[in-house]
Structure 1
């Protein structure tokens, strides 16, 4: 019951916001600029076949592929930097400086390199999600207790055992924090990639509707993109809760 009560305030705020939005949209009376929530809902229902079976799978493919590559490459690089000072000094400054590059400026370059294939969108998603996963995991590996490490060494533990039994458990909460950020950014990355160059996807469909001055058609795919981000975040939170049950006993 306490968890349900915690939802009252945000739910009430959302409802109030939607009501205000509806009233403002009706007062303006220009749906091609600001469609009302009711108009967006109608458009979403009207286009459900095209969006859910035509463009949603394409966007999900980009998001899941980009996230999977980010996890594999990001965690791998974080482990390498943790075990090698040379790798840390070489790659860490590059990872940090990569965040100063505007992603939206690189998206057209990826289109030139990969065309309108899935890989141009995956490249944008990978670039935008790689940073939080890598840095969070690396910080988590570094956060392990030095005293506990020394204790394990005196007990004859090998480097592999220290890594698996000390550093990995210490890094998991950090990894999940970075992954929560990454899953929401992955939706943005996929939408940007599809907006600038694609033949299918929710971002592509939203841009196409904009050229037709269909305000509700522009917002309908955005609602689905937002829903994808929320669902992915909740899935990561559930996975974190399931795999980190040991934290409750500490």
Structure 2
């Protein structure tokens, strides 16, 4: 009950503030629609919104899965293959230095207008936080853990997965929670540049047709998706990494 109250209270406050801004500044519909109009669009355009939501959600989930795979692989490579560190680290920095809007048209050109370009965009956005968080966790494995692994004569591979990787989980969990929050950005930007489906595509075309209430409905669903993925990730990290006290 307390958790429900914590969610409802800020929601009611934001809705009230939203309506108050419209009344105080006499904002026209094409600048800021009323909350009730957005809610009506959620009901009336349910099938349309659901179709585009499924596309964007698939792009986000696949992007997160592949981003985690490549991020973890890169972190392991940085730890055990010191010679490639000087080559891979600049790539990590470059992946964050280049604005995603600048490379989005290229990705659409290379990978097409389908899911692939949006998934690649999502992977690029979350690649750095996953790799960086996991690599920091692997490097900062407590020395006594490594000494114990040496005492038990664990192989390097066993040490990696049974000792170092477990030690890196709290750091990785923090990076993962950042990644799932920014993953939708990659999917939506890809849809803005070139797509025929997805919430980003729907928002762009609704805006062009001055259907601002529909655009806000798509934005609302995108926010709900992001929050849902974040809270699910937060719950799972707390459940499966109970020794990470800073996550609670």
| Higher mean C-alpha deviation, range 199-208 or range 18-27 | 18-27
- Please state if 1:238 is matched with 2:235: yes
What is the Cα deviation at residue 59 of structure 1?
A: 0.7
Q: Distance in 2 between matches of 1:243 and 1:68?
A: 18
Please give the alpha-carbon distance, in whole angstroms, between the structure 2 residues aligned to 1:242 and 1:20: 36
Q: TM-score, normalised by structure 1?
A: 0.91
Shift of 1:161: 2.9
Contact kept? 1:63, 1:122, Cα under 8 Å: yes
Query: Segments of 4+ in structure 1 off by > 6 A?
Result: none
Q: How many residues align?
A: 244
Cross-structure match for 2:121:
124
RMSD of equivalent CA atoms: 1.8
Q: Which of the residues 195, 210, 214 maps onto 1:213?
A: 210
> After superposition, where does 1:78-89 map in structure 2 within 5 Å?
78-89=75-86
* Mapping for residues 102-117 of structure 1, pairs under 5 Å: 102-117=99-114
Q: 2:150 corresponds to which residue? A: 153
Aligned counterpart in structure 2 of residue 46 of structure 1, from 40, 44, 47: 44
Aligned counterparts, 1:174-193, within 5 A? 174-193=171-190
8 Å contact kept, 2:180–2:230 = yes
SS of the residue 1:144 aligns to:
coil
Tell me how far apart the structure 1 counterparts of residues 79 and 58 of structure 2 sit (CA, whole Å): 31
Residue in structure 2 matched with residue 165 of structure 1 by the alignment: 162
**Helix, strand or coil at the partner of 1:245:** coil
Deviation track 1:107-135 (CA, whole Å, cap 9, x = no partner) reads 11111112211111112111111111111
Once the two structures are TM-superposed, the CA of residue 103 in structure 1 deviates from its matched residue by: 0.2
CA contact (8 A) 1:26 1:36 kept: no
- 5+ residue gaps, structure 1, are none
CA contact (8 A) 2:31 2:212 kept: yes
Q: CA deviation at 1:241?
A: 1.8
Q: How does 1:19-34 map to 2 (within 5 A)?
A: 19-27=16-24, 28-34=26-32
The farther-off stretch of 25-34 and 210-219 is 25-34
Deviation, structure 1 residue 197: 0.8
Equivalent residue for 1:90?
A: 87
Once residues 84 and 11 of structure 1 are traced to their aligned partners in structure 2, the CA distance between those partners, rounded to angstroms, is: 50
Please tell me whether residue 201 in structure 1 is matched to residue 198 in structure 2. yes
| Counterpart-to-counterpart distance in 1, 2:232 and 2:92 | 27
Structure 2 CA distance for aligned equivalents of residues 101 and 154 of structure 1? 46
Tell me the TM-score normalised to structure 2 length.
Answer: 0.91
SS in 1 for 2:97: coil
Separation of aligned partners in 2, 1:16 and 1:233: 22
